[in-house]
Amino acid sequence: MRIASAPWWLFALCLYLSVGCTSASRPAVTDADSAAVPRVDTVRPLQVGAAQFEVYLPQLKGRAVGIVANHTSLVEGAHLVDLLREKDVNLKRIFTPEHGFRGNVGDGEHIDSGIDPTTGLPIASLYGANRKPKPEWLQDLDVVLFDLQDVGTRFYTYISTMHYMMAECARQGKLFIVLDRPNPNGEFVDGPIREEKLKGFVAMHPIPILHGLTVGELAQMINGEGWLGEGLECPLQVIPVANYTHQTPYEPPVKPSPNLPNYHAIRLYPSLCLFEGTVVSIGRGTPFPFQVAGAPDPAYGAFTFTPVPMPESSPHPPQEGKKCYGVDYREVNITGLSLEPLLSFYRNSPDKATFFNKNNYINTLSGTPTFQEQVKAGKTEAEIRASWEPALSQYKAMRKNYLLYAE
């Protein structure tokens, strides 16, 4: 894990901003809202929310607890579920998002509920027959913990799972505790704001592609902006990351999902994911997903690869079994959101009429049908970016109300 240190004044600023976590401009949390203030220390390294047991364990004592967790829910290499059981927390149920509790289920694959063979705990799938938790799954719980490693993009589904769990906790008055983790793309706020008509599981919130929030900050925004609907407000508590700012480089210790195998893929993901709305493969079904791009035509480039089924990452990859020509981005430094990869491929496409998927998935990914129209019209990246205003600037101003960490 690469964690950069920061000067003393930046940590002090982080503490100053964090103290406002339960101010009037943000949603009320619980009677233990003092636990939402991050501890800033110039000696100790970054510490994720899940590692701060002394802060949140008192909230769990004598209570029935559920947890939204997966393979990323680690504290110094140990799984949080195991650590909580060792501390005699009354864990009643595990909720699992896309890719499953062990993180070994391919993208989009149905996940069944069942019993975890290691712990014997029931697992309720939030990416199978139900994406919203069944009301009865929460009725015997007092508290729900949320501990997943996000990557900071609107279309990464862990935040949609969080949204649905917050809504059900709000309906039943259950305390929802977010054990916050850093955003590995947290220094960027960029992209078009999702239009309401495109709302869906990979486009749940009216935020840009790179939202610049941790899941804890986003949970506060969801509450504060009334996005749960029905007049709902979730009883929320956030355990912030200690010694973190949005400029702190953070490489997750394990891959957050099967097709983001390393830090470079995580950093390329915001830009290359747009290809999923086109005929272009981004390397699913290869050893280097989200680090290459290509399609079955030499016009796209000299680099070649052939996607094949990989049961634990991509059982049915796009362009399966076809030799793809394109670009190898493994040595290319792209951070934030760049439109150049997609614009370049479109310019080189020999059949522009079929470049975008028939289902117009590019509209969902970009958050607006305007983007596809702009690409087809030959607009430059600068011209496309200009169209994102003033909505993007308005979002940036609103975002400041929910920040727990210095920018």
SS (H, E, C) 186-227: CCCCECCCCCHHHCECCECCCCCCECCCCHHHHHHHHHHCCC
pTM: 0.88
Measure the CA–CA gap between 294 and 323, rounded to whole angstroms. Answer: 9
Residue of 83, 87, 75, 71 whose CA lies nearest to 49 = 75
Instruction: Report yes or no: 99 and 126 within 8 Å, Cβ to Cβ.
Output: no
Task: Tell me the pLDDT of the chain (407 aa) as tens digits.
Answer: 333 333 333 333 343 333 333 332 333 333 334 344 444 444 569 999 999 999 999 999 999 999 999 999 999 999 999 999 999 999 999 999 999 898 888 777 888 899 999 899 999 999 998 899 999 999 999 999 999 999 999 999 999 999 999 999 999 999 999 999 999 999 999 999 999 999 999 999 999 999 999 999 999 999 999 999 999 999 999 999 999 999 999 999 999 999 999 999 999 999 999 999 999 999 999 999 999 999 999 999 999 999 999 988 999 999 999 999 999 999 999 999 999 999 999 999 999 999 999 999 999 999 999 999 999 999 999 999 999 999 999 999 999 999 999 99
SS3 at position 241? coil
Angle at 112 between CA 111 and CA 118, to 5 degrees: 100
Query: Which tokens in the block code for residue 64?
Result: 């029935």
| Domains recognised in the chain with CATH numbers | 8-251 (3.40.50.12170), 263-376 (no CATH)
User: Exposure of 227 by Cβ count < 10 A (0-12 exposed, 13-18 middle, 19+ buried)?
Assistant: middle
Backbone angles phi, psi at 334, to 5 degrees: -120, 120
Place of tokens 């272009």: 280
Beta strands in 45-141 (DSSP E): 64-69, 74-75, 78-79, 90-96, 114-115, 122-125
CA dist 189 and 218 (Å) reads 13
